Structure 1
């Protein structure tokens, strides 16, 4: 499936901003079932510095800096991406114990290594009740690991309510698990924390969803903004597989990956620091249109 994607992020500063530096992670990744055919990132006002980089996890990063005062910021990303991501062979995956053992004995230190996605991170912390929730799901689902993780994905979809505005960007795993409602970021963090506590490597995925579904299929939750889901590592042979707990499905050809990391902090579409006074207003607009 080929898509035309447009992302627009705007900031309005009531008081002029100075000495601003940002890291943008808005470029769709090339690889892993995706082919990036064209890409353009327009930034206004024009940055005083602009460098293209690749971070530890393989994400494309635009590092920008502003030295003149500004009262607004606009980032527009337009891309064409082809996605061909066949369903993973979940029934052919190893047992949960085998996956956990392979992860612990891995020797790779690169960003995609499962060893970096087993323990706590900035937004992921163990929670006894959540660990038990996932262990119970795994016990009911039995083996293999892929089927067990899929059962957890569907259980989160059934047990948690998608309620935009009910949480904030700072909502913790414990808070999201307790209230059983939130948005894709919350559900992904809950699932990651539970998987890691049960020995399964898991990482956070930031990206896009197809805005309009194929004829006769329901619209997926989270398509109006940048979406988030989970990669679970299913052993050396299968590797990373995407699971979308917000919708209770595998991540397939409707999902376009932008950034990966241990949690949301590693995949922020825009991060940085600046000097100003008072509040700021921001808006995000996403459009993902099938074109072939």
Structure 2
């Protein structure tokens, strides 16, 4: 499947600010980026650095009065849809370096606080069957509610409130998976059929020796997702991090089939 991606950021800046932007789809196995165009607008500095786990890139910008950033690309997706229940859980003592850090609690995903619930509710299941049940439980019990959460909302907050957006759904699945000793990381992405259209967040879990995409909102299949970056939680995958005051004027995302 080919996706046409278009994203723009328009922010006012009170005083000169350093900005870290991560909105470009990554080239990696299962997806390739065709004819990307990244236009940062007026900037006094532009420097690319590797993103988490060397998946995708971040861009440092220094802007004085306005950020007008535009990104367009076509992304070719060649990723199979996993049969989650058939995927086995790797014993913890066999996990490789790249998976171990995603067993640990993090700022927005305090997985140690979910261990009792995960064991009581999903402890009769293993591996992909447990992940499928966790994802289905989130879709069934939670209400997708824009504005119900903030940048400081944690997986515990969302678990209690039972409402939020993709970021919050992903945090809860990551926390539950880690509580069950399954490595899980947050994924920033572009997704087809995301409603309302926006930057999307989903999850990758480590099963059968590799990473597999799961969208706990149920909006997107793995073959409809263009990955931007990965990390422990939302703190690692923000599309815009500002070191200085910025004010949202407008931003938008469009994802269509090519």
In 2, Cα distance between equivalents of 1:89 and 1:126 = 25
Q: CA deviation at 1:167?
A: 0.9
SS of the residue corresponding to residue 287 of structure 1 reads strand
CA contact (8 A) 2:21 2:241 kept: yes
Q: Figure out how many residues of one structure are paired with residues of the other and give that number.
A: 257
SS of the residue corresponding to residue 132 of structure 1 reads helix
Q: Residue 182 of structure 1: which of 133, 153, 164 is its match?
A: 164
The equivalent residue for 2:79 is 85
Q: Residue 40 of structure 1: which of 19, 23, 37 is its match?
A: 37
The equivalent residue for 1:263 is 233
CA contact (8 A) 1:104 1:115 kept: no
The equivalent residue for 1:225 is 198
Q: Residue 95 of structure 2: which of 99, 102, 106 is its match?
A: 106
Q: Which is further off, 258-267 or 130-139?
A: 130-139
Q: CA deviation at 1:57?
A: 1.6
Alpha-carbon distance change, 247 to 180 in structure 1, aligned in 2, over 3 angstroms: same
Q: CA deviation at 1:126?
A: 3.1
The equivalent residue for 1:214 is none
Q: Residue 68 of structure 2: which of 65, 70, 74 is its match?
A: 74
Q: Residue 54 of structure 1: which of 37, 47, 50 is its match?
A: 50
Question: Residue 17 in 1 paired to residue 10 in 2?
Answer: no
Q: CA deviation at 1:158?
A: 0.1
Q: CA deviation at 1:48?
A: 1.3
Alpha-carbon distance change, 184 to 28 in structure 1, aligned in 2, over 3 angstroms: same
The equivalent residue for 1:157 is 139
Which TM-score applies when normalising by structure 2? Answer: 0.92
CA contact (8 A) 1:155 1:248 kept: no
CA contact (8 A) 2:9 2:252 kept: yes
CA contact (8 A) 1:209 1:222 kept: no
Which TM-score applies when normalising by structure 1? Answer: 0.81
In 2, Cα distance between equivalents of 1:281 and 1:155 = 34
The equivalent residue for 1:215 is none
Larger radius of gyration: 1
Listed one character per residue, the Cα deviations across residues 165-195 of structure 1 (whole Å, up to 9, x for unaligned) are 1111211222111010000101111111111
